[in-house]
Amino acid sequence: MGLFDLFKEDTDKVRETKINSPFELFSFDFSNIPDETLKKIDEGETEEGIKFTISRKWLERKELDIFDTIEVVEFDTGGKNFVFTGSTFSHNNISRIKNIINSLYSYYGPDDLGEGKFDRDDEAILRDGIWTGRMWNSHPNKPHVMITGYPEEGWSLAIWTN
């Protein structure tokens, strides 16, 4: 396998899709999460006095063929954070990450730093090991999203609502 074979498209996996919400990428019914399948692992209070609970679930089937865990932070104000993690950082996932980024780009446009679709610069950075990803946090009427990938920590995709 040559160096550039790592970045060939895997036609059986997640494809770039035009979406109307980041939640459409997943098979989850987000309206019913957290549910009884998630285990409560922590609770606390923010500096502003907002109470929260954290629940986690190991997924039987990987979401988007990458993410094997979901963690949900539920705030007493009604907001929720959904954090999907993939414990294995692999170059084999790059085509999937590319399609996720490009699908999110189709919904949000450029991220908060002006980054667009996944490109060769992203691929080069991933080959070097640390990719800070993308973040869409400046759309007041849309869920906020952040996606990152680190060799020591794996992949992470967070979606949070107000």
SS3 content of the chain, % helix, strand, coil (to 5): 25, 35, 40
Per-residue pLDDT band at 11 (split at 50, 70, 90): very low
Determine which of 9-13, 38-42, 92-96 has the lowest per-residue pLDDT on average.
9-13
Give residue-wise pLDDT tens across range 27-79: 878 888 878 899 999 999 999 999 999 999 999 999 999 999 999 999 999 99
Residue 117 C-alpha from the chain's centroid: 15
> Do 118 and 106 touch, CB atoms closer than 8 A?
no
Orientation of helix 94-108 relative to helix 120-128, angle to 10°: 130
Domain ranges of the chain: 12-26+33-160
SS (H, E, C) 65-134: CCEEEEEEEEECCCCEEEEEEECCCCHHHHHHHHHHHHHHHHHHCCCCCCCCCCCHHHHHHHHHCCEEEE
Tens digit of each residue's pLDDT (9 = 90 or more) over 116-157: 999 999 988 887 777 889 999 999 899 999 999 887 788 999
* pTM, 2 dp: 0.84
Residues making up the chain, counted from first to last: 162
- What are the tokens at 119? 């490109």
Kindly tell me if the per-residue pLDDT of 10 is higher than 70: no
Q: How confident is the model at residue 5 (pLDDT cuts 50, 70, 90)?
A: very low
Q: Count Cβ atoms below 10 Å from residue 57 Cβ, excluding itself.
A: 16
Q: Give pLDDT, residue 15.
A: 64
